[in-house]
Each structure stands twice: as structure tokens, then as C-alpha cells.
Amino acid sequence: MEKENALKRVLIVDDVELNRFILKGILCADFDVVEADSGRAALDILRKDNSDIAIVLLDIVMPDMDGFQVLEAMKKQGYLNYLPVIIISTESTAQYVDKAYDMGATDFINKPYNPNVVLHRVLNTIKLFNRQHTLMEIVNEQVYEKHRYADMMVNILSTVMEMKNGESGLHILHINTITRILTETLLQMTDKYTFTKSDIQLICVASSLHDIGKMAIPDEIINKPGKLTPEEFEVMKTHSAQGAKMIQGLTEYKDERLIKFAYDICLYHHERYDGKGYPVGLQGEEIPIWAQIVSVADVFDALISERVYKPAYTPEKALDMIIAGECGTFNPLIIQCLISAYKPIVAALSHVSSAEKWEEKAKYVANDVEKYHIPTFSNKTQELTSLNLAKLKFLTASSDGLFFDYSYIDGEMVISANPDRGVAEDIILDPLDREQASKYFYMPAYDKAMEYLETLTPDNPEVSFEYKRADGDKLTVYKIQLLGVYNEDRSTLNNVIGKLSTTTREIEAL
């Protein structure tokens, strides 16, 4: 047998001592065997130390807490994401077997069992899980690379558009941000539309191309400081069709989903729900929903941004103007999404809009390609060193709990690997994706933490609070610590490092 298995542990969970003795005899030559005589004892073992447990052998029929309840608890704690479970039971009816698989069991072995079968099934399951884990790491790395390159493309495109016309290059980043938040909010408000996470990413990238057709509009029209003449406005309106034509010309990628989204967004983002838009005059649901979302995002950002022909309105004024129909007619459902997501949108844009933040984002992207020896900003290394020192100082203050790093630069949260919290590897998630966040956080405490983010200042960059939840005779206390990490001149909040720890105790003991 493979030598490294001797370093791994097998957790046997069975209330019958004889059954545990037999299984231990089968496996002890190749594994360090740990025994639990009940479901609760098994969960206690997993909570205390599961870092080198390779597999769990679990009986179904046990008093107090049966195998199905153990599986359910393991799933909630995230253990099943990286820890295989083989059910070993005398109960072999289809109902039991199907239920075990549905709840996350990897395999099922009937009692009485053949020792060779047990040993080889255990070894094969571990090997399969290890291979699957490796493949998942490869896929996650590829997804991250695609996401990183998409961000780089957005930044490059922003710079090109800024050089071409009077709109700030931040407009594209704003559209990208607003589109993402509106799309996620739409999925929360209705089940009428179904987008995968990949679809949302593609729609956001495609939104960056919404005004690409302006590259074909004469400079004297694009950058005219005053009001356009009717003739000039007609020329300006052609940018929608011009952009769609550019996208359509990419015949090599015509079957790619990104091209479909980009074509629709370019051509239809000036259509209006009442049919009074251009260039086609589509009405209502004839307009692709992703084009409708970008249309609202485009108008909102145009209103709050300074242009050569107008000053910037406040976000409150912009929202009121859109609701009142002063900027055309939009899908009422998307207007509701804008109202619902107004505060998150404004908060997200505030971290992108300053000149310092734009420079920091450019530095961040440039640093990503340092390994290719492309010259970048000379003080980036110093900034990263300062950031890492701040992280180290904060995280080493205590060793338990779940750690997370929320970056305002790229809008992502990284949850650090912590087996005790059911996190087998670093997880990257969108902090506004509540469904994803709820897998790792109790959401009322999470929402309270988001509120506390607004209280951080350079002079008071740390905050700590507790959130209590009563459930029957149990009281769970969530303790959250946050540390704001600012740039060198302390003018911009770059990251928030956080730690979450939980304790549960009897209410009577208080």
C-alpha cells in the first residue's frame, strides 16, 4: 500500500464497539485509526482537528444522532467539500442508499463486509477525492486567470476610450460595477431570468464594450463642448450600430457567448422600454435583458459624472430623475433593482471614482504582470510589503477563527483556508453575492460587519463587535474584528482584513 497513507487518519463512527474493532483491524496497517462511538463525538473530533483525516466511515443507525444527521451537520460545516464519507451499514434498502448519496455520501458498503473490499474501497475513494481536488484547483486557477485578464482588458479599454473622447475612463469601470450589482440584484428579486456566475462575468465584460462604436464617430462631434445640432446628434446615434458592426466583424468568435452579449449591448443599450429609443425602436421584453441593465447603468453613471456639456448630478438626484422618467422609460423591475441596490452601488463607485483609487487600480493590474518583467510602478513592492506586514500583525494576534480579506481595489473577498471552519482552500468570492457569502457567514452578522466598514478611518482603522443569536437553549456569539489598510498617504482605504470567531454555549449558563 502507499506509504503516505500511514500519515493519514481514518475516522470510524459507530456506536457498536465490535464493529469499530473489526474495521480498525482491517485498516490499522495502512492508516492511523480514530474512533467515535456517537455522531456528536465524531463532530467534536472534526471540529478540534480534521487536517489530516483522509476519510470517514459512518454508520447510519445510531442512538441520539444518526448517520444522516451527522452527514447534514458535516455538509453545513463544509466538511463534505474536502472530506469523503463512506456509509457502512446493515441498512441497505434503496431508500437508505439513495438518501445517503443525496446527502453527500461518497460510497456505501453493506454489512457484513469483505475486508479486502473495505480496504480497497477506502483507498480508491481517497485517491479519487485527491484527483478531484487537484482538478478543482486547476479549474479555479484557470477561472482566476480569465477573470484577471478580463479585468486587464477593461482597464486597457478604459484608457483607450478616455483618450478618444471627453468621457472619463472611469465610465467603463463604473458601468462594469453597476451592471454586476444590478444583475445580481435582479436574480435575487425574481426567478424570471437565470444567469450563471459565468454569464454575469461575461455580461459585465460585454458592458465595457457598450460605447465602442464611438471610436467611429468624428472627434469634433464626440468632444463638442456645447449642445449637438440635430444633424450631429443623428451621427452620434449611429455609434450603437457601429459598435455592433465591430463586434459582428469578429467572425472567429461568432459562437462565443461573450460576443452575443456584447453585440446586443452595443446595439440595444439606447432602446427604451416604451419603444422610443434607437436605433431599432424595440419595445418592452423585445430588448435583451442584459442590454436593459446596461442601459440603466449607463444613464445613472452619465448623470452622476461630469461631461463637457454638463455638470455632475448627485446620486440622489440621478436616482430621482430616472424614477421620474426624465431620462426615458425603463423596465420597472430594473428600476426597482436600482432602488434596492442604490446604496451598494454608490458605495462601490465611491471606491473606484477618486483619482488615487484609479491610480491604485492601475498599479494593481500592472503588478500582476511583473513576473513577465514588464516595468511597473516603483513603489508597488513597498505598498505590498506594508500590506502584508499589516496582515501579519493582525492575523497573528490570535490563531482561531475564519480570516478574510476584502479588497476595494478589485471588489473581491478572499477567505483564507481554515479547516476548522470548513474552508479547505482559499476561496475568492464577490462580497455582494449573498448566496455565496451565506455559505461561510451568518448573514445578519455579515450585514452588520458591512455597516461597520463605513466607520473605519485612517485614525481609527480597527473595529470589533459581537453579534448574538439565540436558538432554543443555545446562544451563539459571533465576534468580528476588522482592520482597515490604507495606502501610503492614508487617503484611500485599500483593504479590510477581518477575523470571525464563534462560540456557542447554553443560555442557562450565562
Are 181 and 128 contained in the same domain? no
At 430-443, the pLDDT tens digits run 777 788 888 888 88
CA proximity to 453, closest of 404, 488, 418, 384:
404
3-state helix, strand, coil in the chain (%, to 5): 55, 15, 30
The H or E element containing residue 185 is helix 170-189
> Final residue of a domain: which of 288, 318, 353?
353
CA contacts within 13 A on the Cβ side of 464:
6
Domain limit, last residue, from 293, 319, 353? 353
Same domain for 336 and 196? yes
pLDDT at 408 (0 to 100): 72
Other Cβ atoms closer than 10 A to 33: 17
Q: Are residues 330 and 184 in the same domain?
A: yes
Does residue 293 fall inside a structural domain? yes
Please report whether residue 490 resides in a domain: yes
- Three-class SS state of 275: coil
Average pLDDT (196-213) is 87
Instruction: Tell me what pLDDT residue 365 has.
Output: 37
- Do residue 435 and residue 470 come from a single domain? yes
- Do 481 and 446 sit in the same domain of this protein? yes
Share of the chain above pLDDT 90, in %: 27
Average of per-residue pLDDT across 160-171: 59
pLDDT of residue 388: 43
The tens digit of pLDDT for each residue in 95-136 reads: 888 888 888 888 888 887 788 888 888 888 888 877 777 766
Task: State the pLDDT confidence band at 454, using cuts at 50, 70 and 90.
Answer: confident
For residues 174 and 108, state if they share a domain: no
Q: Do 490 and 458 contact (CB within 8 A), yes or no?
A: yes
Verify that 73 and 200 share a domain, yes or no. no
Name the average pLDDT for the chain.
Answer: 79
* 72: in domain: yes
- Among 219-233, 240-254, 258-272, 391-405, the least confident range: 391-405
The tally of domains found in the chain comes to 3
In angstroms, the CA 377 to CA 393 distance is 26
pLDDT above 80 (res 226): no
- Do residues 186 and 314 share a domain? yes
Q: Which three cell numbers stand for residue 334?
A: 430594473
Which SS3 state, helix, strand or coil, does residue 253 take?
Answer: helix
Kindly state whether residue 359 falls inside one of the protein's structural domains: no
**pLDDT reading at 373 higher than 80:** no
**Which residue carries 511597473 as its cell?**
376
Range of the domain at 204: 165-353
φ and ψ at 126, to 5 degrees?
Answer: -60, -45
Shared domain check, 388 and 347: no
Query: How remote is the C-alpha of 228 from its chain's centroid?
Result: 42
Verify that 336 and 480 share a domain, yes or no: no
> Are residues 111 and 65 part of one domain?
yes
Q: What are 269-326's pLDDT values in tens digits?
A: 999 999 999 999 999 999 999 999 999 999 999 999 877 667 889 999 999 999 999 9
Cell of 78: 463544509
Q: What is the pTM of this model?
A: 0.46
CATH number at residue 53: 3.40.50.2300
CATH number at residue 230: 1.10.3210.10
Using a 10 angstrom Cβ sphere, with 0-12 exposed, 13-18 middle and 19 or more buried, the burial of residue 4 is exposed
Phi, psi angles (nearest 5°) of residue 433 = -80, 95
pLDDT at 401 over 80: no
Q: What pLDDT, on the 0 to 100 scale, is given for residue 369?
A: 33
What pLDDT is attached to residue 339? 96
* Positive or negative torsion for Cα 183, 186, 192, 195: positive
Higher-pLDDT residue of 164, 326: 326
| pLDDT value for 437 | 83
Looking at the chain, the whole-number percentage of residues with pLDDT higher than 70 is 77
Tell whether 214 and 342 lie within a shared domain: yes
Count of all residues that appear for the chain in the document = 510
362-380 burial, b at 16+ Cβ within 10 Å, e below that, comes to: bbbbbbeeeeeeeebbeee
* CATH number assigned to the domain comprising residue 466: 3.30.450
Distance from C-alpha of 230 to C-alpha of 227, rounded to nearest angstrom: 9
DSSP 462: E
Sheet holding 474-486, edge to edge: 427-429, 412-415, 402-407, 493-506, 474-486, 462-471
| Contact (CB, 8 A) for 361 and 463 | no
Q: 398-431: string of b/e by CB count within 10 Å (b at 16+)? A: eeebbbbbbbbbebebbbbebbbbbbbeebbbbb
pLDDT for 428: 72
